[in-house]
Amino acid sequence: MWKNLFVWKKLCVCFLPLVLVIIISALDSNKTLINLQRTIIKLEEYEDIQASFMQREMEHMQWAQQLILFVGLQKNTDMALQTDPSRCALGQWLSGAERAKVESLVPALAEVLARVDGPHRRLHQSAVTIRGLAAESDWPGARRTLENETLPALEEILALLEMGTDHIGKAVADMRGRTDTECVRSVQVNQVAMGVGVFIGLLCFVALLRSILRPLNKLRNYAEACRAGRAADLDIRRKDEFGLLADALRSLMASLNRELAFSRSMLAGLPVPAALYDRDNKLTFANRHMLNLLELDGNPEDYYGRTSGDFLFREEDRETASVSCLRTGQPAERAVEVETYRGNVRFALTQAAPLYDERGNIAGVLSVWMDTTDMHTHEREMARARDSMLRVAGKAQDVAETLSSTSRELSVQIAQVNTCAAQQHQQAQDTAVAMNQINASISAVNDNARHADETGREALKHAKKGQTLVVDMLEAMHALEKQAVQVCENMDALRRHADGVGEVLDVISDIADQTNLLALNAAIEAARAGDAGRGFAVVADEVRKLAEKTMQATKSVVEVIANIQNGASLSADSVGQAVLAIQTTTGQADQSGHALEEIVELIGELASQVAAIAISAREQAVASEQVTRAVDETSAVAGEAAEAMSHAAHATENLAGQIGVLRDLVEELR
């Protein structure tokens, strides 16, 4: 009876008691929640009453504090306190409608509130009495009234209000106890309902397991066996949905087995390797040609259930033509290289075509293979030979291009080097001619410098003689610092010294003129002095003579220096360098003795400069000879380089011709 019931009836029979238990539990929980809400509302009202009582206590305590301060401070001002007991906050609350509400909630408060009226009136009446006594300035009487009437009445009021607060607390505690009891009862009811529900659920599970899950497992096992191609018997004989489903499956599998046998016989007769995969890419059929291609032993049925990648390539997740066909729903064709199970390599062309069921969905894929190993081997050998020839030709072409590029670059560089060598050779010849001219000029300058040195030494001797005669006349000496720039190894230093000598000679000439003038003035003054100035006149005349000799010597030196300057100018024009002038600053002598001493110093400086000019001229001559030899050697090397570059240019032209022949051969090879 039970197993022949339909599934929906079994579900109703199993779950209806469970639903009833859940409904009963929900109703009880809802009732408990409603009671809790009501209790919460009452608790809030009790809390408001407690807050009101505490507020009244605080107000009367503040009122009493103000009254105590009034009496203690003995103020003569009017007392700002409410003395009417019906108009204060507590009096208004006691005479209002809220009192009746509170007494209805907590009946025990009625007696307490009735006892509050008497002391409350006495409290406010004491304030009236104190006000009258304060008006009469009877502060001791006011203090006695405060102690005997006000404070006892206040304490009685506070005690009654605290008693009312205790009654409210007891009411709250009783209500919370009833609420806790109700909650415990509700929890117990829910626990019992849950236990009953669990028990009913277990019974339903066992009943469904026996009447639903068992036939379902049998149907599933039968379907899996059919899908795997194994023979199986569906042992379900009943009149519910599972019995009807079992009958339909048995009829369906009989029809499918007949069609499958026909399809297998047709596929087995194909003359080429072929395999059939289901929608999960599992092998369901393979003919003998397929096993021969893969060099497999045994029967095709031994490999059913394996994926195409595992069956063909021993790779579970490999992307094969069958997988591509299943994914896209379009035929796929690939040329593949497969290693057989015996380790040999085969080449084949595989074609995969989708198979559809009666609804147009992909049910599987048919894979057909063509062995192209021999053809592929022949093509590979030809391709290898062709690639080898092309590789050799490519390398030869690269070599030819590299040689051609290198030859062109080498030709350009050789031409540039040849041009530079010719220019260097010509410049070396021009430099040699210029250096010969410089050598001639330096020789002339050297001779002039030697003559100037001798003349300067002679002038220095005469100047020292004059200095010996007038050394006692000199009171002080004015030192003039001179700075001479040492002559470098070029013609700039030569011109600088020559110009410095000219300037010194100009200064000497000026000093000689001034000395002559001073000597003349001294002679005039000596003549005026008479006999006392004769000795001084003789000395002045000697000084004048020495000054004239100095001027004559200076003129000779000027002529020599002029020749030196001419030679220096010629040398400076040849090498393109200028001689910087040596600036010499001298002060005027205060006396004739100082002037003569400066003449001696200047002549000594002149001699030193002339000696330096001579040394520089000799050094310049030596350097010029070295430069001349280096220029000759450079000219010879440049000539040899030009000749070598000419031979290299001819060799490069021959190399370019050979590269052209090589390029033609490579083109013919291709």
pLDDT tens digits, one per residue of 622-650: 655 665 665 566 566 556 655 665 666 66
Strand bridging mode 362-371 / 274-278 = antiparallel
530 and 605 assigned to the same domain? yes
**How many angstroms separate the most distant Cα atoms in the chain?**
187
Question: What span, in angstroms and rounded, lies between the C-alpha atoms of 32 and 22?
Answer: 15
> Residue 93: what pLDDT?
74
pLDDT in tens, 576-613: 554 454 455 445 545 655 665 676 676 667 667 656 66
Task: Indicate whether this model's pTM tops 0.85.
Answer: no
Unique residue bearing structure tokens 């605290």: 162
> Residue 485: what pLDDT?
47
Which range among 186-200, 202-216, 530-544, 566-580 shows the weakest confidence by mean pLDDT?
566-580
199 and 309 assigned to the same domain? no
Domain boundary among 326, 346, 375: 375
- What residues contact 593, with CB distance under 8 A and at least 6 apart? 470, 471, 473, 474, 475
> Residue 552: what pLDDT?
74
484 and 586 assigned to the same domain? yes
Work out the burial of residue 476: count CB atoms within 10 Å of its CB; fewer than 13 is exposed, 13-18 middle, 19 or more buried: exposed
Instruction: Find the Cα–Cα–Cα–Cα dihedral 274, 277, 283, 284, rounded to 10°.
Output: -90
Question: What span, in angstroms and rounded, lies between the C-alpha atoms of 483 and 352?
Answer: 109
Unique residue bearing structure tokens 């440049």: 638
Task: Indicate which CATH number applies to the domain containing 371.
Answer: 3.30.450.20
DSSP 229: T
Unique residue bearing structure tokens 């670059």: 409
pLDDT score of 484 more than 60: no
- Domain containing 528 equals 459-618
Name the nearest CA neighbour of 599 among 564, 557, 565, 563: 557
* Tally of structural domains, the chain: 3
Structure tokens at 308: 């195409």
pLDDT in tens, 310-333: 888 888 888 898 888 988 989 998
Structure tokens at 122: 């006495």
210 and 287 assigned to the same domain? no
pLDDT in tens, 116-166: 888 888 888 888 888 888 778 888 888 888 888 888 888 888 888 788 788
49 and 194 assigned to the same domain? yes
Collapsing DSSP states into helix, strand and coil, what is residue 188? helix
- What residues contact 157, with CB distance under 8 A and at least 6 apart? 60, 90, 116, 119, 120, 123
Q: Which CA distances in Å does 580 have to 259, 487, 491, 495, 604? A: 124, 10, 10, 6, 21
114 and 210 assigned to the same domain? yes
Name the nearest CA neighbour of 128 among 116, 155, 148, 146: 146
Q: Is 251:257 a contact under the CB 8 Å cutoff?
A: no
Question: What span, in angstroms and rounded, lies between the C-alpha atoms of 322 and 646?
Answer: 74
Q: Is 340:351 a contact under the CB 8 Å cutoff?
A: no
Q: Read off the pLDDT band of 446 (50, 70, 90).
A: low
- One-letter identity of residue 610: V
pLDDT score of 176 more than 70: yes
Structure tokens at 48: 């408001």
Establish if 175 belongs to a structural domain. yes
370 and 464 assigned to the same domain? no
Work out the burial of residue 576: count CB atoms within 10 Å of its CB; fewer than 13 is exposed, 13-18 middle, 19 or more buried: exposed
Establish if 520 belongs to a structural domain. yes
Structure tokens at 486: 């040492």
Q: Is 571:438 a contact under the CB 8 Å cutoff?
A: yes
- What residues contact 323, with CB distance under 8 A and at least 6 apart? 281, 308, 309
Domain boundary among 323, 341, 375: 375
Question: What span, in angstroms and rounded, lies between the C-alpha atoms of 301 and 285?
Answer: 7
Question: What span, in angstroms and rounded, lies between the C-alpha atoms of 584 and 482?
Answer: 6
> Residue 40: what pLDDT?
77
Establish if 466 belongs to a structural domain. yes
275 and 207 assigned to the same domain? no
Domain boundary among 375, 400, 431: 375
The dihedral region occupied by 159, where left means phi > 0, alpha psi between -120 and 50, and beta the remainder, is alpha
> Residue 617: what pLDDT?
57
- Span 417-444, average pLDDT: 62
Sign of CA dihedral 260, 265, 268, 269: negative
Establish if 228 belongs to a structural domain. no
Establish if 474 belongs to a structural domain. yes
Q: Which CA distances in Å does 268 have to 262, 265, 273, 347, 556? A: 10, 5, 9, 23, 139
> Residue 453: what pLDDT?
63
Other CB atoms within 10 Å distance of the CB of residue 513: 12
330 and 474 assigned to the same domain? no
Question: What span, in angstroms and rounded, lies between the C-alpha atoms of 606 and 600?
Answer: 10
Name the nearest CA neighbour of 350 among 319, 377, 382: 319
- Span 84-97, average pLDDT: 75
Structure tokens at 38: 């009501």
Structure tokens at 627: 């430069």
> Residue 445: what pLDDT?
56
Establish if 157 belongs to a structural domain. yes
Establish if 197 belongs to a structural domain. yes
pLDDT score of 471 more than 70: no
- Span 489-513, average pLDDT: 64
**DSSP per residue over 232-287, as a string?**
-------SSHHHHHHHHHHHHHHHHHHHHHHHHHHHHT-SS-EEEEETTSBEEEE-
Establish if 646 belongs to a structural domain. no
Name the nearest CA neighbour of 493 among 611, 619, 625, 581: 581
Average pLDDT of the chain to the nearest whole number: 72
> Residue 47: what pLDDT?
74
Start-end of H helices in 530-591: 534-575
- Span 440-450, average pLDDT: 63
Start-end of H helices in 148-234: 151-208, 214-228
How far is Cα of residue 647 from the mean position of the Cα atoms in its chain? Answer: 60
Which range among 170-184, 203-217, 493-507 shows the weakest confidence by mean pLDDT?
493-507
pLDDT score of 472 more than 70: no
Which range among 116-130, 247-261, 385-399 shows the weakest confidence by mean pLDDT?
385-399
142 and 288 assigned to the same domain? no
Name the nearest CA neighbour of 502 among 569, 560, 443: 560
Name the nearest CA neighbour of 603 among 550, 539, 669: 550
60 and 152 assigned to the same domain? yes
Question: What span, in angstroms and rounded, lies between the C-alpha atoms of 195 and 84?
Answer: 67
Q: Read off the pLDDT band of 59 (50, 70, 90).
A: confident
pLDDT in tens, 94-121: 777 777 777 777 777 778 777 888 888 8
81 and 198 assigned to the same domain? yes
Name the nearest CA neighbour of 274 among 258, 250, 291, 296: 291
